[in-house]
Structure 1
């Protein structure tokens, strides 16, 4: 074939396929500037026909990998059905003939050949239905009276508005952003900050009318439109900036002069809309080109940001904006199938939230700009999208965090998203409304999308378990209302998809307010591959050994197939028992003829059994892993047949029931000796994991039983008969139920006859246990109460056939020491390393953590003017303060350093912002050396929220010198 294809613009060939199975292959056109860098053009072909078919497409439709040298410098052409997230289809036979390169003089237009849920509008409908006046995006002026009434009359509204005022003020005090790529590749953090600034300042301007918000917004906009670009090489950055500037243009429209509007219009066009229009129309332009038809979160963000800008400027640039809006409407339907059939999102809950942020504002923007979303929400009714709120709700743990498989962060915190309000209102779903109501802290989006309605939802009666098909994720719990409930999360599905880890078969387990088995979370270095060029397979948190699954014959590569798939083959649930079985044969097919893993909550959902049944092709080495949480103390008993995990006065017993002769090991959460171990990866300090190591095994069953208990309860190992997974079935449950439980004469809150375990929190100084009473009909009830507090009351209800149900009510202190779900409390002073630490408040991440030398711990408090202080005992010379910030590489915290001679009167020594570029210690000089007995750091929140979190702190000269 010719090496110079620059004279051609079209490629065609005839292809004969033996099967119409949607198998794919890639066409790779190698084109290297540098022989050491693999640069090329590529195009994926999906074969969904049998027999002969002519395939024809423009060369412009090829994607670019790295920096191809040009169509006049083609080294070679390859057809490949493996690699690039593909797996060969054994049954497929393809024959290719009559390959040609030609020139077609007709203008190129990318085909909109997408599966459509909704036909959508004609091009002319956008301009015909456009609301002519501004503001018209997301929040209309007619909505303001409703919001003002809510703020004035509802305590929730008052609290939310106070939070919004505080955040707006915090953003107001920060300087205009500059064009910078903090990680060398992305402008994204700046774009996201601009989205926040435009929403918060615009909202305050529209509610209060104070010109200070207008003037500050214009100062920001001037800086942003003067950027050399909005980094189109990473089009998320461009799209989010378009979204921000569209809101700025629309919400401040009447405050700006026409000259100012033109400056902003020109900036939006030059840096954003021009490039989106070019991509849709197949025109040459700088930056990424094929984002509009991808199947992941990029689709919603980039099409959504483009559409928001087009809605803002449609009457100014009607032809171009119409094309953008028409194309965006079609292309956002491409990823919709990933919500099928049950509402799950294939990239995990982290990217569910990101996708919803831009998809739903796109849909809401159409509602306000055109008075309709052209049938999209109605057309998706009954489809996976309409159930998509189920996914994060069922993946939320009893502590408020999430099942964080894929790149979904640490799993901590309290999950919330205004998208629940949008979905609740559109589909009249009371569960979604209830969920966000319990968690919302008050953002601009909360106020905009909050549309309450009456319902008779009883959260305690909502089904406890969910199997999300296609994504192949299962969650199960013992209660919706008890923070001490048991929770199980199971990850099956596909390897090799966006943001996936090699985690098929992995699980997490919570109980008694603790995370006993965790997903280690995101490895940040996988987002920095443009710097270190290391593959994902190098990183512990991506590999199987960094998850709670199996490893066969460990080595440098993966144990699971990179494109392996695992299905949940059985999922069955009853009030006291639930199980799921995953078939792991395909991902481990290199080593096994069969691999299955079963997960079961039973004994009224008070214990967990994880059982693996493995048949290997030959004798092989095998590892089984379960990662504990940071700081969990692990010990072994019974010659290694039992492990005890201990946290905060609570224990989780792990019993190795099979195979005979095997034992637990306690290991650091670090790579195996045969695995890669790049220095730049997370070190997972103070994290232990349970392991079972079988150096040589062939056909084996590994069964592990996990039983959490409070230290005040006696150890009780259930007597169980191990059964093969194929014979697992739910027990026939004919036992009677209680009608009511009373605590000191008051109905137990959240009681449901089919929920069997509860917690009642009482003040720590409580001396006696409340009196329990139980009511039922046609059955015998017995109550066994503890003699001391804390303790557990057992209520047994027995029917005539002797079948019985046991309810347990645990009476526990209001604040269990070290619990991960703690109130925001006033910190207590503590002396560490010769000085006394105190703080205004903490959330359980206490002040002394900043001096423990462990970057995995921190002091945290939420709000403006939260402080952490130090009493040196006598005057001490201080030249500078060194601090490391939680998530310091992703957000910047505003703070000031103050000094005092008496601890009462304070002088400002330094006002600053953390860089937002590193999580390591940064040095903040005080300007001049201070001699002071007292010093405090007063914080005002960060660029993402109002949390203030310091992981490490020291002084110059250092403590002890």
Structure 2
């Protein structure tokens, strides 16, 4: 172990202090050189003229730019430890305005962008103690500086250039602020992308420093890109895929355009497959599989257009096309939205086809399985099964949890994240990941509030890990299984969960448990937004928006269904109104085994009484 630590230390000393020579003596094109080279606006204009959907998106960006023009410029107002909302809004404003200027050449966009650029460049700093703030601000300012370079005033260019160097790049060389160079999560991707944009924007001022920054990023970003192995499942979940992966792609595209190579980075095992993960993460209800620190919404992802281009797979845009044509109400808030026009400029949306696969499985740090009965039918059944570990960055104690959609509604849900500042402002030490960390006391974060199991009302083991053991593409028995024993160590010798869609009609959740030498009580629970009615026949009727679903326990036969409150016990816990935990408890004698079989049956669907529930060993 000591030898390994020495090698790791030497590696990161090199990363932070030396030039790797990947881009040494490379010829840097003139401005604009980042993302959209000079003259490439023509391809965007042709696409706009040929396709009303692209024309509509282009107009949305211009309309939003017009709304930005009368807004006051940003002020340096920090919220808690973060300036991040200001950095993100700067990136959004500058990207939108700069795009609008390049497409229609109206100087009002140039003038408003220049005012924003000068204002943020005169902030005292960009908050390097929370370096994401610096990274996003640097990216936004660098895009504006590069894209508008020929038309910015000399005085403005001097102010902006100095800010990129002094408030962006130079703090990244300080060990107090650059621990993200060693991280394998989204911070690495975002910060390396931001610093690279800064280095490209002011390359001529100090080519040696710029080369060092870009070379450093090419090496450092390999760490998070390794986490996509082997099939592309992103460990941090849906929302952070949208963050980390999007900035990773912004980085890759920028270096590819300037150096005509991405230095083999996109060929990293699993990386190009991750678009399939993202696409399958959205259920038939329109909500995403929001495990870990994620919200439950979904929307257009500009990065998906980069992946579709790179892989020449138009079916990856099946859902994105729906977002575009459905006029997603939140698109204008996406600070990277103009990149969609850049990466989509050679894509004909008419050629986008429906995906063929009905199940997607990815292993890695946080394995998942997602299955569905259709991509296009609004009443389709969708199930997402989560394995993995609570110890993953932004992780929850949600191993074995599942979400389920049917008839356009979500029946088994996940709370996802609680807004960080609401916890940090109350003194909650949110980022500790040890077994006894305060993080797990947050109501939404432990397994007692997820659609999974709990033994004697105790938390899952943080160091535990589960993979997806088996899965099948059989359309009449779509299924996946996971051995989740490791997160219930000391409570059970064996805990296996399988989830299946049977005959395209209903869902089966099957657990097989063997107790230790001590008696234990297992609680099976499902978190739902539906109104729950416990029936006299032992079933539960779930109702929402006039639609119904039946929860039926097939085994054991003598259980009593019940509900639990979803109100947390701490003053810092978010309100969880309109939600219920429904399930049951069973005592398992020492050294004995039990099977829990639960059916989730959408209304108008019937269970074939002759269908035998197979033991998990036969699901292989």
Tell me the TM-score normalised to structure 1 length.
0.59
In 1, are the aligned partners of 2:506 and 2:607 still within 8 Å (CA)?
no
Aligned residue number for residue 686 of structure 1: 578
Q: What's the CA shift for 1:448?
A: 1.1
Distance 1:428 1:650, change over 3 A: same
1:545 is the counterpart of 2:459: no
Mapping 1:392-403, distance limit 5 Å? 392-403=278-289
Distance 1:165 1:592, change over 3 A: same
Aligned residue number for residue 431 of structure 1: 315
Aligned residue number for residue 290 of structure 2: 404
In 1, are the aligned partners of 2:231 and 2:273 still within 8 Å (CA)?
yes
1:611 is the counterpart of 2:493: no
Cα offsets for 1:338-375 (capped at 9, x unmatched): 11111111110111110122111111212333343344
Tell me the TM-score normalised to structure 2 length.
0.91
Cα offsets for 1:562-609 (capped at 9, x unmatched): 11111222212312111212111111012111111111111x221111
Q: What's the CA shift for 1:455?
A: 9.4
Aligned residue number for residue 230 of structure 1: 126
Q: Per the alignment, in what secondary structure is the counterpart of residue 678 of structure 1?
A: coil
Aligned residue number for residue 591 of structure 1: 491
Q: Matched residues in 1 for 2:226 and 2:597: separation?
A: 37
Q: Matched residues in 1 for 2:619 and 2:305: separation?
A: 40
Which residue, 68, 78, 89 being the options, matches 1:171?
Answer: 68
In 2, are the aligned partners of 1:643 and 1:654 still within 8 Å (CA)?
yes
Which residue, 533, 542, 545 being the options, matches 1:635?
Answer: 533
In 1, are the aligned partners of 2:20 and 2:212 still within 8 Å (CA)?
no
Q: Matched residues in 1 for 2:425 and 2:564: separation?
A: 32
Which residue, 416, 434, 444 being the options, matches 2:300?
Answer: 416
In 2, are the aligned partners of 1:525 and 1:680 still within 8 Å (CA)?
no
Which residue, 330, 343, 361 being the options, matches 1:449?
Answer: 343
RMSD value, Cα: 2.4
Which residue, 497, 502, 505 being the options, matches 2:400?
Answer: 505
Which residue, 54, 61, 64 being the options, matches 1:157?
Answer: 54
Distance 1:386 1:527, change over 3 A: farther
Aligned residue number for residue 129 of structure 1: 27
Q: Matched residues in 1 for 2:139 and 2:163: separation?
A: 13
Distance 1:670 1:569, change over 3 A: same
Aligned residue number for residue 521 of structure 1: 416
Distance 1:166 1:366, change over 3 A: same
Aligned residue number for residue 81 of structure 2: 185
Q: Which runs of 5+ in 1 are unaligned?
A: 1-16, 18-44, 49-54, 62-107, 114-120, 672-676, 730-961
Q: Matched residues in 2 for 1:525 and 1:375: separation?
A: 36
Q: What's the CA shift for 1:293?
A: 2.0
Q: Matched residues in 2 for 1:124 and 1:687: separation?
A: 54
Distance 1:453 1:204, change over 3 A: closer
Q: Per the alignment, in what secondary structure is the counterpart of residue 610 of structure 1?
A: strand
Relative contact order (C-alpha < 8 Å, sep 6+): which is higher?
2
Q: Per the alignment, in what secondary structure is the counterpart of residue 197 of structure 1?
A: helix
Q: What's the CA shift for 1:620?
A: 1.6
Distance 1:46 1:240, change over 3 A: farther
In 2, are the aligned partners of 1:401 and 1:415 still within 8 Å (CA)?
no
Distance 1:126 1:204, change over 3 A: farther
Q: What's the CA shift for 1:719?
A: 4.1
Distance 1:434 1:531, change over 3 A: same
1:722 is the counterpart of 2:613: yes
Q: What's the CA shift for 1:388?
A: 1.2
Distance 1:152 1:464, change over 3 A: same
Q: Matched residues in 1 for 2:499 and 2:567: separation?
A: 25
Q: What's the CA shift for 1:173?
A: 2.2
Question: Who wins on radius of gyration, i.e. which is larger?
Answer: 1
In 1, are the aligned partners of 2:94 and 2:117 still within 8 Å (CA)?
no
Cα offsets for 1:64-86 (capped at 9, x unmatched): xxxxxxxxxxxxxxxxxxxxxxx
1:464 is the counterpart of 2:353: no
Aligned residue number for residue 367 of structure 1: 256
Which residue, 151, 155, 158 being the options, matches 1:262?
Answer: 158
Q: Per the alignment, in what secondary structure is the counterpart of residue 189 of structure 2?
A: helix
Distance 1:204 1:722, change over 3 A: closer
Q: What's the CA shift for 1:660?
A: 2.9
Distance 1:126 1:154, change over 3 A: farther
Aligned residue number for residue 108 of structure 2: 212
Aligned residues: 595
Q: What's the CA shift for 1:436?
A: 2.3
In 1, are the aligned partners of 2:195 and 2:213 still within 8 Å (CA)?
yes
Name the structure where strand makes up a greater proportion of residues.
Answer: 1
Aligned residue number for residue 434 of structure 2: none
In 2, are the aligned partners of 1:505 and 1:597 still within 8 Å (CA)?
yes
Aligned residue number for residue 309 of structure 1: 198
Q: Matched residues in 2 for 1:559 and 1:260: separation?
A: 56
Q: Per the alignment, in what secondary structure is the counterpart of residue 574 of structure 1?
A: coil
Which residue, 473, 477, 481 being the options, matches 1:573?
Answer: 473
Q: Matched residues in 2 for 1:530 and 1:650: separation?
A: 40
In 1, are the aligned partners of 2:524 and 2:583 still within 8 Å (CA)?
yes
Q: Per the alignment, in what secondary structure is the counterpart of residue 692 of structure 1?
A: strand
Q: Matched residues in 2 for 1:157 and 1:661: separation?
A: 58
Name the structure where helix makes up a greater proportion of residues.
Answer: 2
